[in-house]
Structures are given as C-alpha cells and as structure tokens.
Structure 1
Amino acid sequence: MGPRTLAPMPRVMAVSFERYGRLYYLDPGEATFHVGDRVLVPTDAGPEVAECVWAPEWVDPEQGAGLVDLPVCAGPADEADVARDAEHRRRRAEAKLVARRLIKRHGLAMKIVGVDYLDPTTAPEELVVFYFTAPQRVDFRSLVGELARALDSRIDLRQVGSRDAASLTGGIGNCGRDLCCATFLKDFEPVSLRMAKVQDLPPNPLKISGACGRLMCCLKYEHPLYAEFAREVPGVGASVEVDGEAGVVVAHQVPADAVLVRMKDSGAVSSCSRASVCGSRQTYEERPEPTPGRTKERRRRSDPSA
C-alpha cells in the first residue's frame, strides 16, 4: 500500500454585501486581506463591492469539504468601485420608494421586499429588478410601464415566496440572532411538524414558526440527534433496570445524553446516562400482549352487537 496523499488545504475568506448579511466564501488567491477591507466579488452582473468579514486562512480539507472550487476574489476595491457601489445603493433606495408610491396609487396587493440594480457599465443594459410578495397573482402590466418611465430603465418584477422574502428582508429570530436564511443558509430544506414533536417542542405555531410564518429552519439542525436518541433509548413509560434496581423512564434529556428514571422501590427520580439504560434493550422493547378480557371489553365498546 503506497503512501497516503493528503489533499491540499484550501485558503478561504468570507465577505458580505450587507452589514450582518449573508456570508459568501471566496478564494483570496495570493492576496492578503483584513477584516473590514473592501474587495471585489465576481458575479453574473460583473464585479461587486463587498466587505471582508473573515480574513483569509487555511482550512482543514476534511472540515471544509464544501469549500472547494470557490470563485476567486477579483482584488481590492478602489475609490471608483466604492463610489459606484454607493451610487447603486442610492439607485436601489430610490427605486424602492418610487415602486411603493406607484403600488399604492394602483391599489395593488403586493409588497416590495428587495431591489437589484444592474449597472450598464458591467451588465449588458441597465436593469432594475424588483422582488415582491403577494397573496395571489397580480396584474402589474400598467405598473411596469410607469416604473420604466419613472426610473428610465428596464424593469423586471419577480414574485417570491415567504421564505425568500424573509431571506431578502432579514431580521431577528426567536433565538435573538439574525435569521439563518439571511446570513448563512443557502438552501431551504423541508421541515415538518414531526420534527418539533420528536424534539418535545410545543405544537404552538407562535413558538415554532419563523419570521416567514413557516416552521423554523433550525428544527432541521438537531433533528438527527433527537431521532438517533429516540432509536437507542427506551421510550417514556418503559421499564428499565439501572444498577440492579427497576425503574420507569419519565423523561428524556437529549442535550445531556441522559434519561430521567423513577425508581420503583424508592420512588426517587434520577438522571441516568444512555449507556446505563441501554444494557437491557431486549427486555424493555418487549411489550405485554393485551389480556383477552380487556380485548373483549374494548371490542364490545366499539361494537355493541359483539
């Protein structure tokens, strides 16, 4: 067996277009940047100015498996690039105000949540893209014409869902931190109410819903841990034996990797590790069959003619 070849360690930096916004990872190349430096990020519409929020550093290839084939930073931004970025921000703010005024005039049931401005110096033509939410389909043909005349540019209106709207708008989640979708989360994975039940969370929409009104994306983060714990430890109400003493499981403590057991003899409730209650797995997985008397009584209640 030949010597093991080690994968090269990638050098990675992180930038953000907005303060406390989503992070984008780049290959800094041979350059060295510091936190707070303005750099140029290659995009489909040309290089855009962003702020370095994570200085370049070497990353373990095993831990940063997804940080490969990253776009290369186009270099530091000069004064002209920063001035162009400021002009783009001004144009976006102006376009949002004009759009809101015209939407109110037309009485349309739509809300602008984001604006993109493509400079004709970097894009094929000047284009203003509006992202909006609406409860249903909206006829905005007359609105597009007035926006084009007011802004003297080509207009593109795109309707987005509630999760994309939260990602564009940003905000603070129930945990007190910035929304995951507005910072680091790129893909929206499906989240179900079953994940909340597995984690013993209350089925209250006000407590398990995010800013978008959907189930919180963070329910997906710890679900594998709770699912694995539920497969390996006895359920609540199961009989177990701990240090030679019989007991009944009354609760799970997944973060502590333990279960609460009430001892049958003493009645005391103690926290037991997973290893201490998983030794007699075959004993507590066996469920007693219902007695014939109880089965006949239950059948009689459901069917009086039985």
Structure 2
Amino acid sequence: MTEIIGVRFKNAGKTYYFSPKGEKITSADKVIVETARGVECGDVVISNRQVEDDKIIAPLKPVIRIATEKDLAQLEANRQKEREAFKICQEKITKHKLEMNLVDVEYTFDGNKILFYFTADGRIDFRELVKDLAGVFRTRIELRQIGVRDESKMLGGLGVCGRPFCCNTFLGDFQPVSIKMAKEQSLSLNPTKISGTCGRLMCCLKYEQDAYESLLKITPKNGALVQTDEGAGTVVDVNLLTGVLKVSLHSRPDAAPKVCKRNEVKIIKDSSIRVDKAELKELSNLEKE
C-alpha cells in the first residue's frame, strides 16, 4: 500500500496522485507540485489515503509544499495575465488572418510556458503566430488544437436538460459514446435530440448505459415472441424504465395490443436491436471526438 493525495488542476479535470511525504493534507488545501508541464498549483480533491500499489504509477512525485499566501497571489496574477494574453493572441490571429478560434489561455504556475488552446476545421500553419507571440511574452509558447468536446468542457454552459454541462462540472474524462447506445435507450435518432451543444453525442448516454443494458437483459425487445396469460404474441412497444410492454396477440391480430409488465410474460424468442447502416452513416459525425 502507498499513501497518496489526489490533485486536480481543472474544475472537472483528471485527478492525479502525488506523495504527501508524510504530511497531513486536506481536501481544502491547494498544493504546489511538479508535473510534466512544469511546476503547477492544484486543488487537493483526495486527502491522505492508502491505495494499492497496482493503482499507481511509481515513483510518485512528492508535493513540493502546501500553497502559501504568496503562491495564491501568484496564481491570481497568472489569471490576470491569461486574460491579457487572450486579447493579444486574438489580435495576432486577426493580423495573420488565420482561420482559428481561440478558446482559452493558460499560464503554468512558474510562468515558464503559456498554452493557447484553439479550435479549427483543419490543420493550421501557426509558425509565424508563435514567433510573434514569443516576441511579445518572452517565454515558451505552445499552441494546442483541441476538439469541440474539449472546447465545451473549457467554456462550460447549459445543456438541453437545463443543467450545467456534465463535462464542465464532474466528468473528468470523455468516454466513447455510440449511436447504438441511443438506439438501445429507445431515443429518437434525430441529431438535435441526442447531441449536446458541442454537436457530438451527449455524454449522459454513456453513464446511463449500464442501467439500460441491465434492463435489456430482463426485458423483451420490440419484435420479440412472448407468451402471455392470453396466449402468444409479438412485442410491438417497450418502455424499458417502467417495464410496460404492448403485445399484439396472435389470436387477435386486429385487436388493440395487450398491455402487460415484463414479469408477466415469458420470452419464447427474443429480438435484437440493430442500427440501420444508412442511419449509422448519416449520424457517424456525432460519434467523432
């Protein structure tokens, strides 16, 4: 077992493990640590805890110190510099007539590097822009092209549900989301209904999928042949969450479907959920990162 603390550098970013070096650190603290990008200040989200050795990548980097008042002042000064750098970079992009959209600017804690995040439809030759920015800021410059999902995560906003974006509030990493998930959750394959503000499939399809998969194992699907107390029939409608089925009885094909619960029928031959190839091709852009 190894003692760790968990540190996060963005509101809904990934949590990284560091060694507390025997010091008691709480989740209310900020700490100064060394990362691959340089010295950074992060929020402690997991206080001192023992974890199994196979859950960490050894050796763990130690915490340099708990953030002091001076460190917090430096952090605030960096935030102000980022706002100024954003304006300057925006002006330079316009000057060089580059078709790119600046999303965010980030200073490393020690000021040794400035990262500019942008989106663009294709590859951008920004070599002259980097030279221009380096001449202004006199430090290392990195321009990083990001996808539309990363853009939404950085900027935040409200989803179609009326709540703040999941990616901006609690989802640390993006998970693959597929059209098949939407189909299995009985959603309309209308792009405006299943995509988020970023134009990609809604992240919530993924973390709700486990519940739907469990229900699909015990619920007959559309087209399934089932036995009811009034005879055999074919399932013509399914509500997975409530477990209510509509069954067209073979003995009364012209009558209204019989309404029953999933535990009131016996599956003779189940059906399967398939996504039409034409639909899949049409909606494939929604699955892109």
Q: TM-score, normalised by structure 2?
A: 0.72
1:267-296 CA distance string (max 9 Å, x none): 5754413x443x3435x67xxxxxxxxxxx
Mark the runs of 5 or more structure 2 residues left unpaired by the alignment.
Answer: 272-289
Gap change, CA 1:54 and 1:186, over 3 Å in 2:
closer
C-alpha distance in 1, partners of 2:165/2:55?
22
C-alpha distance in 2, partners of 1:259/1:12?
48
The equivalent residue for 1:104 is 94
Q: What are the residue-to-residue correspondences of 1:231-270 with 2, within 5 Å?
A: 233-243=219-229, 246=232, 248-256=234-242, 258-262=243-247, 264=249, 269-270=258-259
Gap change, CA 1:43 and 1:175, over 3 Å in 2:
farther
> What's the CA shift for 1:98?
0.6
C-alpha distance in 2, partners of 1:53/1:110?
34
> What's the CA shift for 1:253?
2.7
The equivalent residue for 2:261 is 272
Q: Is the 8 A contact 2:225 2:268 kept in 1?
A: no
> What's the CA shift for 1:50?
2.4
**CA RMSD in angstroms, aligned pairs only:** 3.6
Which is higher, the Rg of structure 1 or of structure 2? 1
The equivalent residue for 1:281 is 268
- Is 1:214 aligned to residue 200 of structure 2? yes
Q: Is the 8 A contact 2:29 2:66 kept in 1?
A: yes
> What's the CA shift for 1:58?
6.9
> What's the CA shift for 1:27?
5.3
Q: TM-score, normalised by structure 1?
A: 0.69
Gap change, CA 1:251 and 1:90, over 3 Å in 2:
same
Mark the runs of 5 or more structure 1 residues left unpaired by the alignment.
Answer: 1-7, 286-306
Which one of 132, 138, 154 corresponds to residue 146 of structure 1?
A: 132
- Is 1:37 aligned to residue 24 of structure 2? no
Gap change, CA 1:154 and 1:38, over 3 Å in 2:
closer
Gap change, CA 1:190 and 1:153, over 3 Å in 2:
same
> What's the CA shift for 1:133?
0.9
**Percent of pairs with identical residues:** 37
> What's the CA shift for 1:113?
1.4
Identify, as 1 or 2, the structure richer in strand.
Answer: 2
C-alpha distance in 1, partners of 2:12/2:121?
27
Q: What are the residue-to-residue correspondences of 1:43-58 with 2, within 5 Å?
A: 43-53=35-45, 55-56=47-48
Which one of 153, 157, 167 corresponds to residue 181 of structure 1?
A: 167
C-alpha distance in 1, partners of 2:144/2:166?
23
User: In the alignment, residue 50 of structure 1 is paired with which amino acid?
Assistant: G
The equivalent residue for 1:203 is 189
User: In the alignment, residue 77 of structure 1 is paired with which amino acid?
Assistant: A
